[in-house]
Chain A
Amino acid sequence: MSFSTRHSSLATRHSSLVTLLLNPWFQIAFSTFCVAIAELFLKRGAAQAPKLAASVNWTGISGLGIPLVWIGILLMAISFVSWLYVLRFLPLSIAFPLSQFVHVLVPLFSWIFLGELISPRRWAGITLVVLGVFTIAKPVARLEEKL
């Protein structure tokens, strides 16, 4: 498969860590994970941000004074670069649906780390996304094994 051979040739002369980092399938997981963690930091940071007058408050601009918000922004930037790498090697019609796993991670992390509740309807949605991701990822994983 052309999109997996292109990156492995880059990695042949490097260590296994570099091989992992250069793997677009690793990067898609990494990118998705970064977005979910970034959302947590942004939420925590936004809660600390001072409330400004209603006319400017919707922009969330007061969050820029909060370090947690900057960690969130940094993670978002890292995830974007990682996503660009993914786009270079994987078809968008596979990569984009898989990246939507973030809609599973964000409710789960909010539940675990922020103590937010997950409604039954949301659990149902999470289940559907997981099923969809497995449906797409399974034949791909089999192809990768053969290489």
Chain B
Amino acid sequence: MTPISALLIVVTLFASVTGQLVLKYAMESDLRSRRFAVYFSAGVAAMALAFFVTLGLLQHFDLSYLFPIQGLSVVIISLLAALLLREKLTARLLVGAALISAGVILVSLS
């Protein structure tokens, strides 16, 4: 793996996590407001970026190599939602998210 592909893998993870957080923020606002239009477009753009970079990476790497990294997004999104969107995070929620992350990684490894 070259430094560039490592960087691209981080980019896809970052873009998909950002996309979810920004879309959540957009959906919490008034659907006719400017805030909604701006954040909704940004969220869709981030998702599209993640999609196309993943598509490009798939040319060079196996699915079983790329998808386990996506498993990490479960824990990252839950933590960032608590931090940035002030959602309530319980120990139980964290345990569940960790189990799901581990499960997704195992499912995609095989």
Contacts and interface: CB of A to CB of B under 8 A. Distances in A.
Main secondary structure of the interface of A (DSSP, over half): helix
Given A132-B99, A132-B103, A121 B109 contact: yes
A58 interface: yes
A91 B88 contact: yes
Interface in B82-105: 82, 85, 87-90, 92-93, 95-105
Residue of B23, B74, B97, B100 with highest tally of chain A CB at under 10 A: B100
A122 B102 CA distance: 11
A139 B74 contact: no
Nearest to A59: B55
A93 B110 contact: no
A125 B23 contact: no
A45 to B, nearest CB: 16
A49 B87 CA distance: 44
B107 interface: yes
B20 interface: yes
Given A91-B87, A135-B95, A136-B92, A129 B107 contact: yes
Contacts of B77: 92-93, 96-97
A97 B102 contact: no
6 contacts: A58-B59, A87-B27, A91-B87, A93-B82, A96-B74, A100-B103
Interface of A: 58-59, 84, 87-88, 91-94, 96-97, 100, 103-104, 107, 119, 121-122, 124-136, 139
